[in-house]
Amino acid sequence: MLKAGMVYLVGAGPGDPGLITLKGAECLAKADVVIYDHLLSEELLEMAPPGAERIYAGKTSSRHTLEQDEINGLLVGKAKQGKTVVRLKGGDSFVFGRGGEEAEALASHHIPYEIVPGVSAAIAAPAYAGIPVTHRKMASSFAVITGHEDPRKGGSSINWEKLATGVDTLVFLMGMQNLPEIMARLKKHGRPPETPVAVIKDGTTPHQKTVTGNLDNIADRVKKSGLSPPAVIVVGKVAGLRKKLRWFDNRPLSGRRILVTRSRQQAGSLSKLLRQRGAIPVELPVIEIHPVADFARLDSAISQLDRYHWAVFTSVNGVEAFFARLNQLGKDTRSLGSIKIAAIGPATVEALVQRGIKPEHCPTEYTSAALLAGFKKMAVNGQRFLLPRADIADKELSRGIKGMGGIVQDIACYHTVPASASSNAAEILSRGEIDMVTFASSSTVTNLLRALKGKKSLLKKVKIACIGPMTAEAVLKAGLTVDIVSREHTIPGLVTAIEDYYAREV
């Protein structure tokens, strides 16, 4: 008989993927099957192995992809196949997450399982809105209440009379549709009409929006704001602290929708930094990084590395492509021998350091001109230079070294090609939802313009941020306006420049 697998009921947290627990992430990393809920971040699903089966079991107030009995059956069925199953649920599984019902189903079928608690939206959403659910001077107790009871119960099991005045802070989950009724019941049973109330939609995510008021006016204010479910409702004196303690949704980039045009492999680092500052990154890779079709020239250079005096790396992609080929040929960093290494940019330097190599020459300004200025101070006449780079790399660097008497082998070790995903670029920009477009290389400019198929005017309606002067030059040549050129030509530098730009507008 096939031995039953293992089921982990994992609380994924309230929305911010960084709030999943370490144990939850460890469970995802070994999952064969992930059965996940509505509104979970894509980043969480990426923590599972690439080959893991992903099954959507989300529910909204109006639509259930799978009924609860079907979900229970799915958990049991997959476990009986001997699989490791992660049931990934928003917030905490046991706080109005029906995790108890799922655990009961597993227990009745003798399926082994573990409960992995998660951060509940009941405390996280208020915290991200600047509202502590308890406070030594104004709230010694709090309660979490469902705002949407099971209609099959035939009546409410909430003791409104005692709840209204017996607990300092009340947190209602799933109560948006019943907001007026909830407020009326609290007032009816003695809660003062002026009691502060906050309604927080999409808590802990870049989309977070909060409406404040009191028992008397919050329903009208929410209606006028257009706020829709899901949302967390906080009732109590602590809700009045938001104005003073607000921190998450008042950052310079809060709510800004910023287009990330880097390759899919590299977009993550920029998106993460933007998200940390409150922005909503919209990834639209317009380039893809591919290995060259013929490695003959690179292989020849690698087989004769002892002939070179310098190896110059201008990007992380160049480092990765070169060392991948070096390893493929059965060699390692020892093959570089006494060759001196030069690099442009801290990310490139870090990629080399991770391979045990500390570059001899890396200018403080991350440009080819700065690199050349450094070489000019050295005796490079007659020295051999290896430049493993992209096929479309500009020739400024190789021309400059040759001009100093250096002998250059500029070898393409990877291709930069238009990404197929960029075909919907015009559609994304035409919606009018993008505030800014970021360009981290000249090739991203060229390929986005190509993807727009003549609709260049769409880029005149947004702000444009460039990582450096060469990228900005490509934008200007296209007849467009550059709003930001980062002083430090790195991804963190670009994000800082964007943040500074919007901070000036506040």
* Per-residue pLDDT reduced to its tens digit, 184-211: 999 999 999 999 999 999 999 888 999 9
Is position 372 within any domain? yes
For residue 417, list its beta bridge partners: 288
Return the CATH number at 195: 3.30.950.10
The upper half-sphere exposure of residue 392, i.e. CA atoms within 13 Å in the direction of its Cβ, equals: 14
The boundaries of the domain holding residue 152 are 123-245
Contacts 24+ apart (CB under 8 A), 267-271: 269/491, 270/438, 270/440, 270/491, 270/494, 270/495
* Residue-level pLDDT at 273: 93
Return the CATH number at 60: 3.40.1010.10
Shared domain check, 151 and 35? no
Is position 448 within any domain? yes
Is position 250 within any domain? no
**pTM of the predicted model, to two decimals?**
0.76
Shared domain check, 282 and 429? yes
* Residue-level pLDDT at 393: 83
Quick one: tokens of 237? 């004196």
Strand duo 169-173 + 231-235: pairing: antiparallel
Q: Is residue 224 within 8 Å of 231, Cβ to Cβ? A: no
**Final residue before a domain boundary, out of 418, 442, 471:** 418
What type of residue is 244?
Answer: K
Q: Write a three-state SS string for 228-256.
A: CCCEEEEECHHHHHHHHHCCCCCCCCCCC
**Final residue before a domain boundary, out of 73, 101, 119:** 119
For every one of its 506 residues, what pLDDT tens digit does the chain have, with 9 covering 90 and above? 567 799 999 999 999 999 999 999 999 999 999 999 987 888 899 999 999 999 999 766 555 678 999 999 999 999 999 999 999 999 999 999 999 999 999 999 999 999 999 999 999 999 999 999 999 999 999 999 998 776 565 667 899 999 999 999 999 999 999 999 999 999 999 999 999 999 999 999 888 999 999 999 999 999 999 999 989 999 999 999 999 999 998 888 998 999 999 988 888 889 989 988 989 999 989 988 889 989 999 999 999 999 999 999 999 999 999 999 999 999 999 999 889 999 998 889 999 999 999 999 999 888 889 999 999 999 899 999 999 998 888 889 999 999 999 999 999 999 888 887 666 788 889 888 899 999 998 889 999 998 898 889 999 999 999 998 889 999 999 999 999 999 988 899 999 999 999 988 76
Q: Is 314 helix (H, G, I), strand (E, B) or coil?
A: coil
Shared domain check, 208 and 219? yes
Is position 13 within any domain? yes
Shared domain check, 99 and 160? no
Is position 252 within any domain? no
* Residue-level pLDDT at 504: 85
Shared domain check, 347 and 321? yes
Shared domain check, 443 and 341? no
Is position 324 within any domain? yes
Return the CATH number at 372: 3.40.50.10090
**Final residue before a domain boundary, out of 245, 268, 299:** 245
Shared domain check, 451 and 304? no
* Residue-level pLDDT at 394: 82
Is position 337 within any domain? yes
* Residue-level pLDDT at 151: 55
Length, in residues, of the chain: 506
Shared domain check, 274 and 200? no
Report which of 175, 181, 216 is spatially closest to residue 199, judged by C-alpha positions: 175
Place of tokens 């993550």: 268
* Residue-level pLDDT at 427: 86
- Among the listed residues 23, 59, 187, 340, the single catalytic one is 59
- Among the listed residues 16, 47, 168, 174, the single catalytic one is 174
State how many domains the chain has.
Answer: 4
Shared domain check, 424 and 276? yes
Is position 251 within any domain? no
396-403 vs 368-376: helix axis angle to the nearest 10? 10
Shared domain check, 175 and 155? yes
Contacts of 165 (CB under 8 A, 6+ apart): 189, 190, 191
Shared domain check, 81 and 16? yes
- Among the listed residues 16, 32, 37, 249, the single catalytic one is 37
Shared domain check, 376 and 296? yes
Q: Is 59 among the residues known to form the active site?
A: yes
